[in-house]
Amino acid sequence: MNRSGQISLPTLKIGRFVYNTHRRLMDMICPHCKNGCKKYGYFGGGNRCQRYRCNSCAKTFSDIPYRSLGRLKTPLKKATRIVNLLVEGVGVRATARLTKTHPNTIQAVLEVAGSKSAFLLDKMVREVNFPFVQVDEMFCFVGCKEKNNVTGDPERGRQSIFLGVDADSKFIINWMIGKRTSSTIEKYMQDLKLRVARPFQLSTDGYELFEDEVKWAFYGEAAYGQVSKKFIHPRAKDSNTAEGRYEPSRVKTIYKRQVFGPVRFDKISTSYIDQTHLNLRLFNRRLTRLTLGFSKKLEHLKNSVALSIAHYNFCRVHKSLQGETPAMAARLTDHVWSIAELLTESGQIGSEKWICPLLERTVSPPMKNSSKRYNTAMNAPNFHEPEFVTTIDHDSHEHPQPQLA
């Protein structure tokens, strides 16, 4: 109550407007200097939009209503059709011809949709129960092949897409794009640690950098096994010869090895992650082999991969899940999402320049030469479990039986 006996009501700030409970709209707040503004005419044809001018900095701006695609003026129905074509393996220029849209608009829609998808995956996948996880990397390149990257630009040349897939729900847990080095694998494993609830079982291939990084991230909290495959070409003894270079090789021998933890040997596999790689190459034009559909910039590749993964997890029904999407099988949602829902679910995200959350938001691990890094991994007792070897005979129709090495 003030001196005149009247009750003073508080002032509320909602968005850029300042409201008072006993008055109407008082002022528009300037987004630059946060001072009061005044009306400054209208713009637009049929649906006029109010413009304002700041009393302090004299800058003008308008009260544009909320748009689901942020800064883009593309209608949501048209953006949904564009995204639908992109996630079905159609290129940018082919999508522009089919929708009669400029290729720059297609690229802008892809940027906004990719940023929304990356934000959605980063927000929803946190400490989820995935009992059997498979991790592997997939080859791709940006701009040019590595032999033509004469400047040594880290954002050009050979790149690897690291993926983690749950064997039961087929859900793509997380992803990361970078060089095939120990530092990239280290960041990926630290990010995977934020997504999966422990304990669980992890399976990778026999790449030597995986073992050290997995020990550092999950030793004592998860079980880890490796599977190594030896390939042989059906016609040529050397698969690198010109005779059989582009023909598929066959698996000759499979080695399964327990690294640490109580693993289940029947669950040590990379079959589901290999099938996921095939799906991404099929439904993403930038990852198709021997074409001109590769990405020219690393940021465009990140946006495209994020959109493909979000569509695969939430919108695409998997044939082995009885009419469910991987997100439904992982109990992260209860229905099949539409593309429009995918574009609007993450809110008003996408107007700002996106930085890949998997590279920037992960917890920084200790340095590699730190003693804390190897206290548990290198001083751990060695497991002398038997290695299982499976030999596949292509002339026999019997099921291969594992044998002790």
Average pLDDT for 64-93: 87
Dihedral of alpha carbons 366, 370, 372, 374, sign: positive
Residue 394 has pLDDT above 70, yes or no: no
pTM, two decimal places: 0.73
CB contact at 8 A, 315 and 88: no
Residue 237 has pLDDT above 70, yes or no: no
How confident is the prediction for the chain on average, in pLDDT?
79
Average pLDDT for 205-210: 92
Q: What phi, psi does 234 have (nearest 5°)? A: -70, -25
CA–CA distance, 281 with 308 (Å, rounded to integer): 10
Q: pLDDT tens, 46-56?
A: 667 788 888 88
Average pLDDT for 106-124: 92
Report percent pLDDT > 90 for the chain: 56
CA–CA distance, 334 with 346 (Å, rounded to integer): 17
Q: pLDDT tens, 57-66?
A: 888 877 666 6
* Token pair listed for 383: 């497991």
Residue 316 has pLDDT above 80, yes or no: yes
Residue 271 has pLDDT above 60, yes or no: yes
> Residue 395, Cα to own-chain centre: how many angstroms?
41
> What's the pLDDT score for residue 222?
94
The confidence band for 331, taking pLDDT boundaries of 50, 70 and 90, is very high
Q: pLDDT tens, 137-194?
A: 999 999 999 999 999 999 999 999 999 999 999 999 999 999 999 999 999 999 999 9
Report percent pLDDT > 70 for the chain: 73
